[in-house]
Amino acid sequence: MTQPVVVFVDLDGTIMVNPFERAVWPALLGDIAARAGQPLEAVREAVEAEYALRQADAAYPPLRAMDWDDIAQTVAGRWGMTVEGSAEALVRQYAASHSNVLPGAEAALRDLAAAHRALVVATKGLAKYQQPVLDALGLTPLFSAVLTPDSHNGLKRDRRFFGAWPEQTQLQIMVGDRYDDDVLYPAGHGFKTVWIPPLESVPTRLHSKDPFARALLYPYADDQPVSADALLLNLSELPDAVRRLEMSILGFTDR
Ligand SMILES: [Mg+2]
């Protein structure tokens, strides 16, 4: 039996920091740069450009679009090289030492644990890069399931990413930090959205408002056509926001 409510939770920048910036990229890109005789920044820009190219192509295979090792090999190939080692191996090596849970995340998730509510990871990162970090940080047991692009061969913009959860539940709530992946696309799938934007983007006059008023009053950019349902300053506000959504839509919650 599936619970009536599913809360999809983004990982990177929402509840954790992965080891890519601190350890994986410096090692992987540093090696390419050294052997290609290129500045590290040039390699990084090439990787980011290749990633952006794949993201912009809706027909690009979702798994290859998110495969950092494939992207790194493609970029290195332009300098006539093959990458030694892999992001996958580096993630495993540095998952425990160079990643962390964001403040308030674990407390919020534990607060939200309830019989009627499934907590499900919804990350755009591939399982091979994300699962080792979830495990190292001890976060895996807090979730009913982990959805990655591998799960259903889709990205968050594709409804199939979310598998059967939307059909099997009455209320779907997406929680995340990225406007496109965590607000725009999930809203398009019919989910309620709880957004945690960069704090500096939230005008201070909105800080004292509640998350639902804030979401209406936030100065969205021209390429942000839909409003989030709730807008958080930090994760300590998450449990109450989820319960208020449940009360307003289903007429019940767990306290
Ligand atoms: Mg994120």
Residues 38 and 160 in one domain: no
Distance 243 CA to ligand 1 centre (A): 22
Instruction: Clarify whether residues 110 and 143 are in a common domain.
Output: yes
In this predicted structure, what is the pLDDT of residue 207?
98
Model confidence pLDDT, tens digit, residues 181-201 = 999 999 999 999 999 999 999
Distance of CA 174 from the midpoint of ligand 1 (Å): 11
Give me ligand 1 centre to Cα 218, in Å.
19
Q: How many Cα atoms within 13 Å fall on the side-chain side of residue 252? A: 8
Looking at residue 92, what is its pLDDT?
98
Give the distance (Å) from ligand 1 centre to CA of residue 181: 8
Same domain, 80 and 109: no
Same domain, 82 and 109: no
Is the domain of 55 the same as that of 80? Answer: yes
Given this model, what pLDDT does residue 70 score? 98
Look at residue 45 in the predicted model and tell me its pLDDT.
97
**The last residue of a domain, from among 94, 118, 141:** 94
CA–centroid distance, residue 76 to ligand 1 (Å): 27
Looking at 94, 115, 147, the residue that finishes a domain is 94
90-136 tens-digit pLDDT: 999 999 999 999 999 999 999 999 999 999 999 999 999 999 999 99
Which residues have C-beta within 8 Å of that of residue 29, sequence separation ≥ 6?
Answer: 40, 43, 44, 47, 72
Q: What is the pLDDT of residues 5-25, one digit of tens each?
A: 999 999 999 999 999 999 999
pLDDT in tens, 33-47: 999 999 999 999 999
- pLDDT at 175 > cutoff 70: yes
Q: pLDDT of 152-162, one tens digit each?
A: 999 999 999 99
Ligand 1 centroid, distance to 177 Cα (angstroms): 5
pLDDT averaged over the chain? 97
Residue 167 belongs to domain spanning:
5-18+99-250
Cα–Cα distance for residue pair 28/34, rounded to 1 Å: 10
Q: Can you give the pLDDT at residue 1? A: 53
Confidence of residue 234 (pLDDT cuts 50, 70, 90): very high
What are the pLDDT digits (tens) for 220-229? 999 999 999 9
Q: Looking at the structure, do residues 10 and 51 belong to the same domain, yes or no? A: no
Ligand 1 centre and the CA of 222: distance in Å?
21
| Average pLDDT value for residue range 164-189 | 98
How many A from CA of 62 to the centre of ligand 1? 17
CA–CA dist 9, 199 (Å, integer)? 18
The answer on 11 and 39 residing in a single domain is: no
182 C-alpha to center of ligand 1: Å?
Answer: 8
User: Are 76 and 106 in the same domain?
Assistant: no
Q: Which pLDDT score is estimated for 2?
A: 80
Mapping DSSP onto H, E and C, the string for the chain reads CCCCEEEEECCECCCEECCHHHHHHHHHHHHHHHHHCCCHHHHHHHHHHHHHHHHHCCCCCHHHHCCHHHHHHHHHHHCCCCCCCCHHHHHHHHCCCCCEECCCHHHHHHHHCECCEEEEEECCCCHHHHHHHHHHCCCHHHCCEEECHHHHCCCCCCHHHHCCHHHHCCEEEEEECCHHHHHHHHHHCCCEEEECCCHHHCCHHHCCCCHHHHHHHCCCCCCCCCCCCEECCCHHHHHHHHHHHHHHHHCCCCC
> Checking phi first, is residue 13 left (phi over 0); if not, alpha (psi -120 to 50) or beta?
left
What spacing in Å lies between the alpha carbon of 136 and ligand 1's midpoint?
18
Q: How far is CA 20 from CA 91, 129, 130, 240, in A?
A: 7, 9, 11, 32
Examine residue 255 and state whether it is found in any structural domain, yes or no. no
155 alpha carbon to ligand 1 midpoint, in Å? Answer: 13
**61 and 88 part of one domain:** yes
Residues, the chain: 255
CA 87 to chain centre: 18
- Same domain for 24 and 144: no
Q: How far is the CA of 210 from the centre of ligand 1 (A)?
A: 22
Closest CA to 78 of 41, 49, 46, 55: 46
Predicted confidence (pLDDT) per residue in 46-66, tens digit? 999 999 999 999 999 999 999
Q: How far is the CA of 43 from the centre of ligand 1 (A)?
A: 23
Q: What is the pLDDT of residue 44?
A: 97
CA of 215 to the centre of ligand 1 (A): 18
- Whether 89 and 117 map to the same domain: the answer is no
Does one domain contain both 115 and 62?
no
Distance 13 CA to ligand 1 centre (A): 4
The residue-averaged pLDDT of 215-244 equals 98
Report yes or no on 162 lying in a domain.
Answer: yes
Q: How confident is the model at residue 255 (pLDDT cuts 50, 70, 90)?
A: confident
- The rounded Å distance from CA 197 to ligand 1 centre is 10
